Each structure stands twice: as structure tokens, then as C-alpha cells.
């Protein structure tokens, strides 16, 4: 799968905030870094089709050769993961994983069981998410996103609430899942170790290369 940002230009009050023209192919990670407030999260909001009204955008967004610029968020199939991604507290782990999944009970059960195993949590579907560790919750949040069948994965500081050991293993877990599924990934981070581990190009919101 391929994600292409064609001459994307995002403005806020007449000022250019971000300018990107690039392609990310499946299994590759593009990292966006830059100071607080420079527009990193705004770029991701534009990609999922949820740009706040204060901003305007020109250019096109392509997923696998399909122009999704005007496709509404729910139909766009961009998976996004945030820092401190919240699992629904009133649902079990399996309930979280199966939320919104199509198919009958048996099909949903099979999908959530497979996701639990992949997350290293086999048989833990009935658990209350509050009883999981931070790393376990992060893996469930990723698997929930992946179960929705995204065609690209956007990561907004998804590792920053984890301690450094957990952070390294979660990074590896996320990048492996994305590679297996051939998903293009855009990672927003402040962390140089994250950027190095991503092993792809590192740019700012103007598309300029950053040397680590
Ligand atoms: N809904 C909004 N309406 C108007 N301006 C906004 C809105 N959301 C963010 N901004 C402004 O847009 C700019 C970019 O914000 P954004 O959240 O994309 O930055 P960021 O690079 O992700 O920052 P951080 O690293 O702190 O998360 C900032 O100047 C911010 O104040």
C-alpha cells in the first residue's frame, strides 16, 4: 500500500503551516519532527480528514492510487494512534478490540482472539483494561486500530507515555505489525530514538530533511 501527499499545503490565518509533497510506501516509516506548535498534529488531522475549520488545505491525498482528499474520515481507512490512547473503560479488552467490527459474533470472536494472541495477551479478553499494564494497553490500542483494516497508519507520539524499555519494545511491535500488513506509516515524535528506530526519512512539516 502507498500513501501519497501531493502538494499538500496547510494554512492557518493565511500563513503556511505545512507543505508536503511525498510518498510513503508499505512497510516504510516517515518521521515528522519539529518544535511544539509547528503543525505536526495538524498534518495528521488533515490526513484523516479532520482538519479544524480554522485551517485550510490545498493539495491531494492518495491511498493506493485512490484520491481520498474528499472522502469522509470514517470511510477513509486511515488508522491513527495517539499518546495515551484511551481504551473504553466500561468494556472488556475483547469488547474494546471488537468494537465496531463487522460480521457475526463468531467472526468477531475469531478476529479478537487472533488480535489478543498477536498482542501477547491470549485468553485475556475478559479482563478489565484498567488491570493491564501501560504496555499491554498500548498493544491493545494498536490492535484495535489494526482490526479496523486501515490502509495507512498514523502515529502521534504514541510511545511517549511509556517508560524507556517499554517504549523500545512497543516501537518494535508497532513497526513489525505495520511491515507485516504492508502499511505505510507516518510517525510524529519528539524523540530521536523513535526517529532512529523508524529507520526511514526524517523531515519537518515543510518537508525539509532533518539530520539526527
Ligand atoms: N483548532 C485549532 N484552531 C486554531 N488553531 C489551532 C487549532 N489547533 C491547533 N492550532 C494551532 O496550530 C498550530 C499547530 O498546532 P499542532 O497541534 O499541529 O502542533 P504540533 O506540532 O503537533 O505541536 P505539539 O508538538 O505541541 O503537539 C499551533 O500554533 C496551534 O496553536
Percentage of the chain modeled with pLDDT above 70:
100
Q: Is 200 in the pocket of ligand 1 (CB under 6 A)?
A: no
Average pLDDT of the segment spanning 83-109: 90
Burial (Cβ within 10 Å: 0-12, 13-18, ≥19) of residue 100: exposed
Q: Is 210 a residue whose pLDDT tops 90?
A: yes
Stated pTM of the model? 0.95
Main-chain dihedrals φ then ψ at residue 64, nearest 5 degrees: 55, 45
Which stretch of DSSP H or E encloses residue 120? none
How many angstroms from the chain centroid is the CA of residue 188? 9
- Among 45-54, 76-85, 107-116, 180-189, whose mean pLDDT is lowest? 76-85
Main-chain dihedrals φ then ψ at residue 172, nearest 5 degrees: -60, -45
Average pLDDT of the segment spanning 28-34: 98
Spatial CA neighbour of 202 closest among 11, 27, 1, 24? 24
Average pLDDT of the segment spanning 112-124: 96
Distance in angstroms (rounded) separating the CA atoms of residues 209 and 159: 22
Average pLDDT of the segment spanning 59-67: 97
Contact (Cβ atoms closer than 8 angstroms) between residue 158 and residue 82: yes
Say what the pLDDT of residue 161 is.
Answer: 86
- The complex scores an ipTM of 0.96
Distance in angstroms (rounded) separating the CA atoms of residues 154 and 157: 10
Q: Is 11 in the pocket of ligand 1 (CB under 6 A)?
A: no
Protein residue with its CA nearest to atom 27 in ligand 1: 36
Q: Is 47 a residue whose pLDDT tops 80?
A: yes
Protein residue with its CA nearest to atom 14 in ligand 1: 39
Q: Is 84 a residue whose pLDDT tops 80?
A: no
Taken in order 177, 179, 183, 185, the sign of the CA dihedral is positive
Contact (Cβ atoms closer than 8 angstroms) between residue 200 and residue 44: no
Contact (Cβ atoms closer than 8 angstroms) between residue 212 and residue 190: no
Amino acid at each position: 500500500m502507498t500513501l501519497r501527499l501531493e502538494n499538500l499545503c496547510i494554512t492557518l490565518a493565511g500563513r503556511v503551516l505545512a507543505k508536503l509533497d511525498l510518498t510513503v510506501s508499505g512497510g516504510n516509516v516517515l518521521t515528522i519532527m519539529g518544535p511544539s506548535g509547528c503543525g505536526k498534529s495538524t498534518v495528521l488531522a488533515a490526513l484523516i480528514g479532520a482538519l479544524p475549520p480554522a485551517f485550510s488545505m490545498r493539495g491531494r491525498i492518495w491511498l493506493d492510487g485512490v484520491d481520498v482528499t474528499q472522502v469522509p474520515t470514517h470511510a477513509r481507512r486511515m488508522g491513527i494512534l495517539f499518546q495515551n490512547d484511551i481504551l473504553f473503560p466500561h468494556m472488556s479488552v475483547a469488547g474494546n478490540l471488537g468494537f465496531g467490527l463487522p460480521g457475526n459474533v463468531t467472526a468477531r470472536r475469531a478476529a479478537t482472539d487472533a488480535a489478543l494472541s498477536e498482542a501477547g495477551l491470549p485468553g485475556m479478553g475478559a479482563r478489565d483494561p484498567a488491570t493491564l499494564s501501560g504496555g499491554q494497553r498500548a498493544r491493545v490500542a494498536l490492535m484495535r486500530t489494526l482490526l479496523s483494516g486501515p490502509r495507512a497508519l498514523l502515529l502521534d507520539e504514541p510511545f511517549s507515555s511509556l517508560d524507556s524499555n517499554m517504549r523500545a519494545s512497543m516501537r518494535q511491535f508497532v513497526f513489525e505489525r505495520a511491515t507485516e500488513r504492508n502499511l505505510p506509516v507516518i510517525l510524529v515524535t519528539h524523540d530521536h530514538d523513535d526517529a532512529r528506530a523508524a529507520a526511514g526519512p526524517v523531515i519537518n512539516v515543510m518537508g525539509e530533511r532533518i539530520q539526527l
